[in-house]
Structure 1
Amino acid sequence: MELKVFRDTLSTMASLCETKAELPIETEILIPDYLPQVFKIVKCFVYLVTLQKQITAGRLTVEGYLRCVVYYQAEEDQSLCQTEQKIPFTRAMDLPESNYQGYTAQVSGEVEYLNCRAVNQRRVDVRGAYALSALVTAQSDQEIITALADCGVEQKMLPVTGVKSVANLDKLMTAEEELTLPSQPQAILDISGVGQVEEIKMISGKAVIKGKIKVELTYRSQPGYRLEGAAKDVPFNQIIDLDGVPDDGVCFAEVEMVGCTMMATAGQEAGNTLTVTAILHLRVYRPVECYVVGDAFSTQYKADVTYKTVNAEQLQEQLDKTVEADVAGALPDENAEIIGCFVSLHPLEWGQAEGGLTLGGRASAHVLCMNSLGEIDCYDKAFEYSLPGVYPGTAEQYRFECWPGVTAVNTQKNGMDMTAQVNIRVRGLLFRRIKETIVDSVTCDEALEVGEPDVALRIYYAAAGENVFDIAKFYHVSPAAMMKLNHLEDLELGAGARLLVPMTV
């Protein structure tokens, strides 16, 4: 009699590798004639904007630009000014040999070091390095045994659940909205924004995504360092083709603002048009579930069973969490006047907590102050934050794809001390990777010897938590026969028991 083995393929996402590269920051920024001359460099920021990620011939190619923003104090009237420049890059990173079908590449990074100086009153030199990091995951097809038959084989079925990526899109989009201010700004210092997806609909192979981008504008309307603020919601509506996406797919979308311009509207006093550039991140996953043979033996033959480990990835949680972080510290100048605060976020990372892991990150508050000498300084205050929730296990069991953003910053001064409340919102996807040991192959060649024919039953004293299948495997008897003989309904024993073991099938 020949053992029948039924096989299938399980397709899941599995983490492959993390690769790093360094981007040089080398640029000269020329101050236009319509901006005041440089008296003092106050602060320089570098932001990463990723436009395209592609894997070909075993290499990940990342295209985008570094947005270099320089704040400086003007020579004539103490005005706070801003200028910026884009540094385009294309970086190829080698990957291990593998099948990168249905891959996901998460790209992030942070500044390693940065030097910014004024060469003269009209030229700023910026030198430094940016650490680029990419985590690549890909869809893998794993062969599994779904059933065995004949040769007196007994099998323990094991459910394997996970998710399969069916759509992974990053689309550049623009949206416009009118903004009216009390008076036209003399200088715009910062335009930041946080996206908010309000509705996702899957209709006839298309995804309809609606929402808004909450834009925060920091500007000054007069010479000097006094800053003003304005806020505006910029709505968006995107329709994306998703051919072949099943109706039971889990759909997630997030909008990441990467740039914004403001132009005066012709014929409207103090009227302006905001044009927002953002990246729409769309992820669609399909639940995957199948039963595989987790263990096997034969009641008639000596079975040679080999095992292997398969990986599956489950969607643990769709994250949408907000945390308020408190920042405090003494200012070097007790007579300094706080005029503004910017917050930069580093990539998210895992932290240890009682009972497991917390998701959070490092950040820096950059407090702009006018000191007692009439000069603008920037005081950097590093801090950490953790999102609510504790996750069991180790960091190697999880993968996240998240987009953090600052939704509010409030600063105040009390004597020489500065305090700030920073609201940080994190939206994204959290996955948990699981490993299951299953049967890889089974062969049945040599027949079992018949032992002790005069013994019809044995008594086995089982402990709580033991499995009837494992006991039956030890004695080469049918688990179903043991269940029937002992009037059991579940293979897993909830309490200790004395079991009768039939010696014949």
Structure 2
Amino acid sequence: MELALNRDHLSCYDTVLDATVLHEETMEMIVPDACPDILRIVDTAGTVCLKSKEAQEGRVEISGTVRCAVLYLPDGETGVRRIEVNIPFFCSADGTGVAPGCGVVAVPSVQAAETRSINPRKVLVRVNLAVAVRAYRSADTAFCTGAEDDSAVEQLRESRSAYMVACVQEKPFTFSDDLTISGSRPEAEELLKSSVELICNESKIIGNKLIFKGEAALKLLYRSSDGAIASTDYELPFSQIMEVSGVEEEADCALDVLLTDLSCSLGAGDGRTVSVSLGLLAQAVVREERSVELLTDIYSVSSELTAELQSYTMNRLLEQNTRRQAAREVIETGVLAKSTLDTYVNLGAVSQIREGEKLTFSADAVVTVVYLAEDDEIYSVSRQIAVPCQADVPEGCTCTCGCRNAGEAFATPTTGGIEVRFELDFHYMVQSTQRVTGVCGVQVNEAPVEEKGPSIVLRAVAAERLWDIAKSYRTTTADIMQANELESEEGLSGKLLLIPRKR
């Protein structure tokens, strides 16, 4: 006969894919008729806009567009010119547990971009992308919490905690405004480049609402009426509300905000008004610690029981932290630099190397500096710099880590080249995994058990639980404690106990 058991259900999400896809795209483009011939390429800066992300059977597909601003010096004219090249991309990541309906978080970034001039009217543009992809599959786990009729059996219930993904949600939104270039800066004749750094600096769950705030740090590089390169910065704040469900207000929220569209244009006949439109997508992964009451053992003093066991995997959060690392290096230049015009940092994948309990993260940062040389010509120089960060992570634990720019990058001409300084924030999460065994079914042999031996036993307690002693002698912990006038199960190792046996 099968014993009737009470069951509880725990709904969460399993992480079935966590990968970084490295992808390359190239495109040839003819210089538009309205633009002069190319004399020399100065720089190529790419901004990635996500178009779609979709879970298929066994893989996740991601697509979007990289908008490249190619800056060049024209043949026979003065001042830097710009060509815009929009390069579509498509990539995928394989995962055995991925299926339609999975929640997908994708964060694409440009590692590097470069342009080669094929002839004065044709260019070849190449971009390297790093696309961080995570997929979450909805899961419902059933746990046995005890027998429906608990009068005939002895049960061991233990509380277990699990740190889990409780909600995966996203929200698209837009931002648009007309911005004014300060009077202290020259008027703009042509916008050369726009870059956006998206920062979410506050999030809070109230009821079933996730409220988050942040800012889009917009930097514009433009050519003034006298042909010089100038720049201006803006901080564009945003605040949004996203629907979440099934989570407590103390839950942890990891939020990524990324671009889906970007448009910057000068007002007609006005060198000081810039119209900006941003398409944005917020991706939230909410985690929280939940407690589970689990039936881990069961027996009867009067009948033979056969318990079926099931193993469960539970994660526990050990540490969640952000560490800021500073980088400083001198980049050699072929021509002595007089001043810097633009500095930016592109980030690629974060790697991990373990030595015992020391885990070293390393982010590949590509730093690019556009500068004015002593010969009054404009050049650019790029350097890949590995930025390390160390953390103490116990062996056997899993660790995920992401990296982002922590503010503006600085460049200063110095002897032998250009000194660059920037900071990166490494955000990492350490979890331990434990296997927990619980009862999932019980078969009862209704034939009575014939007990042999004395009705009371004297024995010494080793390093064991009182529960295990009671079970082995087919009695109860309550009877043992009563027979020995015990108030607690603590500190029994080495003591002699009377064990009364059921008859």
What's the TM-score, normalizing by structure 2? 0.80
1:168: which partner in 2? 169
- Shift in Å, 1:331: 0.9
Q: Does the 8 Å contact 1:251/1:282 carry over to 2?
A: no
Q: Residues 109, 499 of structure 1: CA spacing in aligned structure 2 closer, same or farther, 3 A cutoff?
A: farther
Which of 270, 273, 286 is the equivalent residue of 1:271? 273
1:188 aligns with 2:185: no
Q: Does the 8 Å contact 2:155/2:295 carry over to 1?
A: no
Q: What letter corresponds to residue 255 of structure 1 in structure 2?
A: V
Which of 213, 218, 243 is the equivalent residue of 2:216? 213
Q: Does the 8 Å contact 1:302/1:444 carry over to 2?
A: yes
Q: Does the 8 Å contact 1:259/1:277 carry over to 2?
A: yes
Does 10-19 or 439-448 show the bigger shift? Answer: 439-448
Q: Deviations over 1:280-316 (max 9, x none)?
A: 2344456543211233444445543443332345666
Structure 2 gap ranges (5+):
none
Q: Deviations over 1:21-57 (max 9, x none)?
A: 7755231233334544322234445554323222255
- Shift in Å, 1:197: 4.0
Q: Does the 8 Å contact 1:82/1:189 carry over to 2?
A: yes
SS at match of 1:407: coil
2:458: which partner in 1? 457
Does 447-456 or 152-161 show the bigger shift? Answer: 447-456
How many residue pairs get aligned? The number is: 492
Q: Residues 267, 482 of structure 1: CA spacing in aligned structure 2 closer, same or farther, 3 A cutoff?
A: farther
Q: What letter corresponds to residue 435 of structure 2 in structure 1?
A: E
1:363: which partner in 2? 365
- Shift in Å, 1:260: 4.2
CA RMSD of aligned residues (A): 4.0
Q: Does the 8 Å contact 1:329/1:419 carry over to 2?
A: yes
Does 372-381 or 141-150 show the bigger shift? Answer: 372-381
2:389: which partner in 1? 386
Matches within 5 A, 1:311-390: 311-313=313-315, 321=322, 323-333=324-334, 335-337=336-338, 339=340, 340-352=342-354, 355-357=357-359, 361-370=363-372, 374=377, 376-386=379-389, 390=392
Q: Deviations over 1:380-438 (max 9, x none)?
A: 13221438x6444546x3456x57235111122331154322123467x8473633322
SS at match of 1:408: coil
Query: Sequence identity, in percent?
Result: 18
2:251: which partner in 1? 250
Q: Does the 8 Å contact 1:194/1:213 carry over to 2?
A: yes
What's the TM-score, normalizing by structure 1? 0.80
Matches within 5 A, 1:433-444: 434-439=433-438, 440-444=440-444
Q: Does the 8 Å contact 2:222/2:230 carry over to 1?
A: yes
1:502 aligns with 2:503: no
1 CA distance for matches of 2:97 and 2:259? 34
Q: Does the 8 Å contact 2:364/2:387 carry over to 1?
A: yes
1 CA distance for matches of 2:406 and 2:78? 28
Q: Does the 8 Å contact 1:457/1:501 carry over to 2?
A: yes
2 CA distance for matches of 1:277 and 1:332? 37
1:230: which partner in 2? 232
Q: Residues 139, 300 of structure 1: CA spacing in aligned structure 2 closer, same or farther, 3 A cutoff?
A: same
1 CA distance for matches of 2:236 and 2:21? 35
Q: Does the 8 Å contact 1:21/1:93 carry over to 2?
A: yes
Q: Does the 8 Å contact 2:43/2:114 carry over to 1?
A: no
1:409 aligns with 2:412: no
Q: What letter corresponds to residue 365 of structure 2 in structure 1?
A: A
1:12 aligns with 2:9: no
Q: Does the 8 Å contact 2:393/2:430 carry over to 1?
A: no
Q: Does the 8 Å contact 1:156/1:295 carry over to 2?
A: yes
1 CA distance for matches of 2:244 and 2:21? 35
1:153: which partner in 2? 154
Does 167-176 or 366-375 show the bigger shift? Answer: 366-375
1:38: which partner in 2? 38
- Shift in Å, 1:365: 1.5
